[in-house]
Amino acid sequence: MAATVIYGKDLARELRNSLSHTLERLKGKGIVPGLTVVLVGDDPASDSYVRGKEKACLELGMVSNTLRFPESMAQDGLLELISRLNLDDSVDGILVQVPLPKHMDTDLVLRTIDPAKDVDGFHPVSIGKLLLGQETFISCTPHGVVKILEKTGMPLAGLEVVVVGRSNIVGKPMAMLLMQAPHHCTVTVCHTRTLDLKAHTLRADIVIVAAGKPRMVTADMIRPGACVIDVGVNRVPDASKASGFALVGDIDYVPIAEKASFVTPVPGGVGPMTITMLMVNTVKAACLRRGLAVEN
C-alpha cells in the first residue's frame, strides 16, 4: 500500500496561521518580533536557506534583518557583532547560519549568542536544558519533525525510532526530544560507524534520516508500514533543470513511498517546518523577553 505523504508545507501553513493571530495581539501592544540572521560567506545552499527565513518573517509581518559578510570576515568581528546584537533591544532572535568558514570556531561563536535570543536552540544552555527536559528553545528541524510525527496521529509512546545521523543540529536533539516526555519513544541513534545500519532500520517503527547522503536509505532497509521522515537536502547534478541541479533527500523516495505508512518528500516535507519553528521561536523569544505568556 502506498504511504500517506506528509507535506510539511501544509502543516507549516496551519502553524503560521495560528502564529499570525499571536502576532496580531502582540502588534496591538506595539510589539513586532524581530529576527536578525548573520550569514558569513557565499555558500549557495546557505544563501537559499537564509532567503527562505527572510521571506517567512516578512510574510508574517515580523522584522527581518539579514547581515551578510564575506568569507574573509575575522572571527573577532563576528563576536563583536553578536555582542552588539545581544544588547540591541530591537533584536528578539539571533541566528548565525552554519557552516561558518573554516577559520572560525563555531562552538565559540554559537555560545556568544545570548541564550534568551537563541532561536536556533544551538547554545549549550539550550541544548543542556533540552537534555534535562526543561523548557527552552528547541532546535527548529527536530522540533518540526516532532510536529510532523504528531500530525500522523500515531501514538508515539513506546515506538522504536531509529535516527540516522548524530549531528548537533538534528540527530542529537532529535533523539533527546523523542525519548522523553511527552513522546516516550525508544530511540536508537545510528551513524557512520554503525556496523549494520539495515539491521537497525528494519526493526524501526519510525526512521528519521539526517545523514546528508543522497538516497542512502533504500526500500530494502525499511519495514513495511514504517513511517519514514527525510531530513536530508542534497543538491545533485541534473542537466534537465535550469539551475543544473536537483534537490533530493537522504532516502530513495519512490520505492520507500510504496512501502511505508507515512513519508515526507524533499522538497516540501521537513524544510518548511524548520523555518516555521524558527518563526515560532522568534515570537516566543519576543514574549519571554517582555514577561508575556507564550501562546504557540
Question: Are the beta carbons of 31 and 290 closer than 8 angstroms?
Answer: yes
Min dist. Cβ of residue 195 to ligand GUN (A):
29
Query: Do the strands 160-164 and 4-5 form a parallel or antiparallel pair, or are they unpaired?
Result: unpaired
Residue sitting closest to ligand GUN (CB)? 98
Q: List the one residue out of 22, 53, 49 whose CA is nearest residue 277.
A: 53
Phi then psi for residue 35, to 5 deg, are -115, 130
Q: Given the rule CB under 6 A, which of 13-21, 74-82, 94-102, 158-166 is the region that contacts ligand GUN? A: 94-102
For the beta sheet containing 160-164, the strands, ordered from the edge strand earlier in sequence to the opposite edge, are 4-5, 262-263, 227-230, 206-209, 160-164, 186-190
Question: Are the beta carbons of 138 and 147 closer than 8 angstroms?
Answer: no
Active-site residue, from 53, 117, 147, 172 = 53
* Site mask for ligand GUN (CB under 6 A), range 172-211, x = bound: ----------------------------------------
How buried is residue 182: exposed, middle or buried, by Cβ count under 10 Å (0-12/13-18/19+)?
exposed
List 138, 140, 178, 287, residue binding ligand GUN (CB under 6 A): 140
Q: What is the CA radius of gyration of the chain?
A: 19
Min dist. Cβ of residue 40 to ligand GUN (A):
11
* Site mask for ligand GUN (CB under 6 A), range 46-75, x = bound: ---x--------------------------
Is residue 98 part of the contact set for ligand GUN (CB under 6 A)?
A: yes
Residue with Cβ nearer ligand GUN (261 or 276) = 276
The owner of cell 516526555 is 181
Is residue 120 part of the contact set for ligand GUN (CB under 6 A)?
A: yes
Whether 53 is catalytic is yes
Residue with Cβ nearer ligand GUN (46 or 188) = 46
Whether 134 is catalytic is no
CA distances from 57 to 115, 117, 277 (A): 21, 16, 11
Active-site residue, from 92, 117, 118, 120 = 120
Residues in Cβ contact with 117 at an 8 Å cutoff, skipping those fewer than 6 apart: 85, 86, 91, 92, 93, 94, 285, 289
Residue with Cβ nearer ligand GUN (168 or 180) = 168
Residue with Cβ nearer ligand GUN (98 or 116) = 98
Active-site residue, from 92, 97, 117, 259 = 97
How buried is residue 102: exposed, middle or buried, by Cβ count under 10 Å (0-12/13-18/19+)?
exposed
DSSP state of 41: S
Whether 238 is catalytic is no
Residue with Cβ nearer ligand GUN (3 or 85) = 85
Catalytic residues: 53, 97, 120
> Interface residues with ligand GUN (CB under 6 A)?
49, 95-98, 120, 140-141, 169, 274
